[in-house]
Amino acid sequence: IAPYGWEVLVDQPGSTQVQPSNILVSLATASIGVGELFRAMFAELLPACRVRPSPAALNILTFDERSHDLPALPSNIDIGRVHLVGAGAVGQAAIYTLARVSATGTLVVVDPEDVSLSNLQRYVLTMDGDVGSSKCSLAARALRGSRIASVCRDYCWGDAALAAAGQIGEGCAAV
């Protein structure tokens, strides 16, 4: 499994070598690679599972198998002001990615929870010492040094009193 341009290559000639790519494709490749590892480790227990190489390519920009002459990752992405509701596994993956691309803007992270030991393994921004820390504070730490300002909101999205006070907006983008 290897990233190449905008594509994730699986069981392709050359898919054992690292090729030029970008952070988005690299993260998608890693995710698919973990799935392939799981499949290989538990193949005997899975009812329908591929048992031999099955060449495939997935273009994460067009979601098809064809290779296109596609643009490079933009060098300056302005996200404006975005509300990220939930800084768990998926939210942290989004934060991790935004911190590594050339993006600017403000990310309002809305999550009232602290990191617990029971789900520590799913989070890409945490270490053992982060148990008990607020997920919002982890987001702020991950975005330090990037061009994205972070605003932490340690409460639940949809709190009517907070919306009325202008602390969280309605109609904001949510991931």
* CB neighbour class for 155 (10 Å; exposed up to 12, middle 13-18, buried from 19): middle
Beta carbons of 60 and 7 less than 8 angstroms apart: yes
Average model confidence (pLDDT) across the chain: 81
- Greatest Cα pair distance in the chain: 58
The pLDDT of residue 131:
94
3-state secondary structure of 71: coil
> Which tens digits make up the pLDDT trace of 16-71?
666 677 888 888 888 888 888 887 788 778 777 666 778 888 888 888 766 666 77
What is the Cα–Cα distance from 166 to 33, expressed in whole angstroms?
43
> Which tens digits make up the pLDDT trace of 100-109?
888 999 999 9
Q: Is the pLDDT of residue 147 over 90?
A: yes
Degrees, nearest 5: CA angle 174-113-143: 60
Q: Is the pLDDT of residue 172 over 50?
A: no
